[in-house]
Amino acid sequence: MIEDKLILDACCGARKMWFDKNNPNAIYGDIRSETHELIDGRTLEIRPDVVLDFTQLPFPDETFRLVAFDPPHIHDLGKSSIMAKTYGILSYHWRDDIREGLKECLRVLKPYGVLVFKWSESSVKLSDVMPLLPQEPVFGHTSGKHGRTIWMTFLKK
Q: Which stretches in the chain have pLDDT values below 50?
A: none
- 40-50 tens-digit pLDDT: 888 989 999 99
Full-model pTM: 0.92
Q: What is the pLDDT of residue 4?
A: 85
Q: In CATH, what class is 2-155? A: alpha beta
Q: What is the pLDDT of residue 65?
A: 97
Q: What is the pLDDT of residue 76?
A: 78
Q: What is the pLDDT of residue 122?
A: 85
> Where do the structural domains in the chain lie, given as residue ranges?
2-155
| Local structure of 131: helix, strand or coil | helix
